[in-house]
Amino acid sequence: MTPNQTPSSAAPITYASAGVDVEAGDRAVELMKDAVKATHTPEVMGGIGGFAGMWDASALLQYRKPLLTTSTDGVGTKVAIAQAMDKHDTIGQDLVGMVVDDIVVVGAQPLFMTDYIACGRVVPERIADIVRGVAEGCRLADTALVGGETAEHPGLLAADEYDVAGAATGVVEADMVLGAERVQSGDVVIGMASSGIHSNGYSLVRRVVNAAGWSLDREVTELGRTLGEELLEPTRIYSRACLDLVQRLNGHDGGSDLPVRAFSHVTGGGLAANLARVLPRGLMATVERDTWSLPPVFRLVGELGRVPQSDLERTLNLGVGMVAVVDPEVAAKSISVLVDAGIDAWEMGTIGALTDDAAAAGLDFVQGAKGVDGGAVLMRGQYAA
């Protein structure tokens, strides 16, 4: 028998026998389509199942000079917690939060989003749960979910393994863009509370939990629920509240001296590194740790794993998911607007000139981060009890 021949008795090889179930994918679409449709605005054209999502760009004609913004992300190893608990209806909200809240940092409105799920085996109910979570996140962000893809990768991923990613597009007026060029000495730094760990640092968290031998179904008194429930708490989505703040305080006309100067989304790298990215060279934010208490889950991770404070601060959000830099004259109003939107907010620091001796603070000092040659952040004091 030559290499190109097969025994006549061998069963034919099909796509299904190779591990890909096309019919399961179709069932997943049927289960999720109502949740996806619920996110659609009048600008969304076409239906579910097309090769490409469409969005009516004539809505942008109202802008003087629209700038399109885009962002893409995933949720990291938090998916391992969802898989271990067999609970998949919140991980999609995490995905949306990671993407749209990067877009809102420049003051942009997220318009539409697409998602991507790679899995070892399509389980229609599980895929639908994931996408329902994405749709819920899009609803919270006033963003349309216009399409997505589910890819079955047998042999590459285990049957019950999956990963998620997404991308979104937004828009902002050119003269309304927020960022480092607007920040001034004397500005105030406002912290916005996180809902928990969000979607960064789970490699550290999982290592701590595994080393301690704790199970995800362990009831933890200081958390008021099981460890797994705490670790799956979905990422808070800030875009709607941040845009409301911008519209109420900056107005719609643009200009060189808008009172809301910048936002910083606190993700991988922690508070100081991400805040430094939206500050100009020569300026430094001094953040006072005693303006907030570490939420219990962060204290637990630190104590359980004897994780150094410097490592916690450069890995986890430690209770601050988003930061605003504002003119001091609108600081109190900004906090009021955010609190009215359901987000705990407080004044946590100020912007001033970078001093020559600041770097002597060692691990409490960060200058520039993630390739941005920007400003600096000094973390000072101890966290409130």
- The H or E element that residue 365 is part of is strand 365-369
**pLDDT tens, 226-278?**
999 999 999 999 999 999 999 999 988 877 889 999 999 999 999 999 999 99
78 Cβ neighbours under 8 A, 6+ residues apart: 91, 94, 199, 202, 231, 232
Residue 356 per-residue DSSP state: T
Alpha-carbon separation of residue 187 from 289, 323, 377 (angstroms): 18, 13, 14
The structure's pTM equals: 0.92
Q: Write down the H helix ranges in 265-317.
A: 270-276, 296-305, 309-313
pLDDT tens, position by position, 332-381: 999 999 999 999 999 999 999 998 888 888 889 999 777 777 899 999 99
Residues 292, 346 contacting (CB under 8 angstroms): yes
**What domains can be seen in the chain, in order of their start residue?**
21-40+61-171 (3.30.1330.10), 178-378 (3.90.650.10)
Q: How far apart are CA 226 and CA 295, in angstroms?
A: 15
Residue 47 pLDDT greater than 80, yes or no: no
Q: Is the pLDDT of residue 184 over 60?
A: yes
Whether the pLDDT of residue 297 is over 60: the answer is yes
Alpha helix (H) ranges present in 70-154? 78-85, 91-103, 124-140
- Rounded to whole angstroms, the Cα distance separating 368 from 274 reads 9
Give the strand pairing for 144-152 and 109-119. parallel
- Exposed/middle/buried for 267, CB within 10 Å: 0-12, 13-18, 19+? buried
The reported pLDDT for the residue numbered 220 is 97
